[in-house]
Amino acid sequence: MPNIKSAKKRLKQNEVQRKRNSAYKSRIRSSRRVFREAVEAGELEPAKEAYASFCSALDKAVKHNVIKRNTSTRSKRRGAEALRSLEA
């Protein structure tokens, strides 16, 4: 445990931020799972809705610096490819 006042505050801030980041990452994983399940089931409309939710979760995580922009872009591109393969 820290002894210095600023270090104690920093420890509290880090804990709060860790929980917040964890929530964003959990939302990404959940929405990705729903999207993949819809694609594997071959359902186009639910897959499109799930893809929009997945992109939204990624964008919000980028906005709050939880994940990097390129990671988000790569994930969205792979999702879009899966969606296009479903449409074809």
Q: What are the pLDDT digits (tens) for 37-68?
A: 999 999 999 999 999 999 999 999 999 999 99
Q: Distances from the Cα of 16 to the Cαs of 20, 22, 23, 36, 87, in angstroms?
A: 6, 10, 11, 31, 42
Q: What angle do CA 70, 75, 81 make, to 5 degrees?
A: 125
Q: Other C-beta atoms within 10 Å of 62: how many? A: 17
Q: Give 52 or 87, the one with higher predicted confidence.
A: 52
* Alpha-carbon span 52 to 38, nearest angstrom: 12
Q: Is residue 1 very low, low, confident or very high in pLDDT (cuts 50, 70, 90)?
A: confident
Mean pLDDT of 12-16: 97
User: For 5-87, CATH number?
Assistant: 1.20.58.110
* Alpha-carbon span 48 to 85, nearest angstrom: 12
pTM above 0.95, yes or no: no
Q: What are the pLDDT digits (tens) for 61-72?
A: 999 999 999 999
The fraction of the chain above a pLDDT of 90, given in percent, is 95
